[in-house]
Amino acid sequence: MAKSANNIMDRLVSLCKRRGFIFQSSEIYGGINSCWDYGPLGVELKNNIKKSWWKSMVYERDDIEGLDASILMHPMIWKASGHVEGFTDPLIDCKKCKNRFKATDIEGDKCPICGGELTEARQFNLMFKTFMGPVEDEASIVYLRPETAQGIYVNFQNVLNSSRRKIPFGIAQIGKAFRNEITPGNFIFRTREFEQMEMQYFVKPGTDEEWFEKWKQERIDWYLRLGLKKEKLKFHKHGKDELPHYAKDAYDIQYEFPFGWQELEGIHNRTDYDLSRHQKFSGKNIQYFDESTKEKYTPYIIETSAGCDRTLLTCLVDAYNEEEERVVLKLSPIIAPLKVGVFPLVKRDGMPEVASKIYNYIRKNIKTFYDDSGSIGRRYRRLDEAGTPFAITVDTETIKNNTVTLRERDSMKQIRISIDKIEEVLKEKINV
């Protein structure tokens, strides 16, 4: 079997469809480019990733509050943020085959696909526009947010005052963002609609560099806790030419995908740029007053900006293994969509009754799957492909002595445990 990057991605895409992780959007109408739907296992995996991020940001710390801002916001926000003017990519069209490219992806002056003549580069704004209300004119233009961060900046004072926080503190948010990308692709890696998990941490100027270092470490540790391979992760420091205009320092956390090292998350020292801009454009005072020192200042912001869909793809790629007799997703039990499968060895001798009882009991607290069709080997293979870390099988011995087998996905080892210990053992292994 050829192991080229494309083949591995193709086989992963086909597993995702087969097992119900991810489907092409609008498939029965021929699909729509770069849009994807999460199926029964995909939505569980995505929710588990979001839960883990929220837990590490909001619940395990006592200096971060949550927020859920609306997608449509006042159009002035995007002027203040610089997106109306500057959120553009230079775009080049092929006059012959009509394909579209980012100017930065083109070498030479001919179309890389058909060799045809290319147009001049023109600036293309990546924001999706729509109209608010019944009249479609300039005055009613609103944008689908291209990042969730601005919703946090414009709520800085609201959160500060209502939660009675003191600096340093952060605001975390998970939500959809939209970018009219010129070259979406690599499955869900780059899409036009995606979810971000962003946290903006407000600090006193002068303490920003220290906080920047702390957040870099925190964020890479989170990916390691999701079970990603250490050697596949690295930091990439932005050089002067890559640095966004608002940033004093920026690092990407990168992962080595089958199609190369790519960004997973950006960590930026955004200085006081954002709050100063919103102060200027709104005419409202967004400064912070420090009661203890009587100082007034505009906080600096350390941003950690991760893509939820991209993290999900990374977890799938990292977990995907082709072994001699099986394909297995070695997902960490923390994020695995199904934690355990319960099987009666055969559909007789009282085994289905006992297995159903176990299933109905543990599924209340642990995401569990019941399967009694096909040979036991095939049932294990299905669970392996779904990334389910444990399986419990009820067999003839169960009927005699109230014990079951517990199979571990990665080692395929089986141990016998007593029925009344199942929940305790699973909870410990899954870390519920």
Which residues form the interface with ligand ATP (CB under 6 A)?
147, 179, 181, 190-191, 194, 196, 263-266, 305-307, 309-310
Judge contact between 233 and 223, C-beta under 8 A: yes
Nearest approach, Cβ of 212 to ligand ATP (angstroms)?
A: 15
Nearest approach, Cβ of 9 to ligand ATP (angstroms)?
A: 15
Nearest approach, Cβ of 215 to ligand ATP (angstroms)?
A: 14
Nearest approach, Cβ of 309 to ligand ATP (angstroms)?
A: 5
Give DSSP secondary structure letters for 103-125.
GGG--SSB-TTT--BBPPPEEEE
Residue 20 backbone class (left: φ over 0; alpha: ψ -120 to 50; beta: rest): left
- Which CB sits closer to ligand ATP, 300 or 343? 300
Which pair of structure tokens corresponds to residue 394? 């009820």
- Which CB sits closer to ligand ATP, 94 or 306? 306
Nearest approach, Cβ of 34 to ligand ATP (angstroms)?
A: 8
Cα dihedral sign for 410, 414, 415, 417?
Answer: positive
Residues forming a β-bridge with 394: 344
User: Rounded to an integer, what distance in angstroms lies between the CA atom of residue 219 and that of residue 263?
Assistant: 13
Residues forming a β-bridge with 200: 171, 303
Closest residue to ligand ATP, Cβ-based? 307
Which has the closest alpha carbon to 386: 9, 21, 54, 56? 21
- Which CB sits closer to ligand ATP, 41 or 264? 264
- Which CB sits closer to ligand ATP, 310 or 339? 310
- Which CB sits closer to ligand ATP, 304 or 403? 304
Judge contact between 309 and 177, C-beta under 8 A: no
Count of alpha carbons within 13 angstroms of residue 379, beta-carbon side: 20
- Which CB sits closer to ligand ATP, 149 or 362? 149
- Which CB sits closer to ligand ATP, 81 or 398? 81
Count of alpha carbons within 13 angstroms of residue 308, beta-carbon side: 29
Nearest approach, Cβ of 229 to ligand ATP (angstroms)?
A: 18
Which has the closest alpha carbon to 417: 401, 405, 426, 430? 405
Nearest approach, Cβ of 266 to ligand ATP (angstroms)?
A: 3
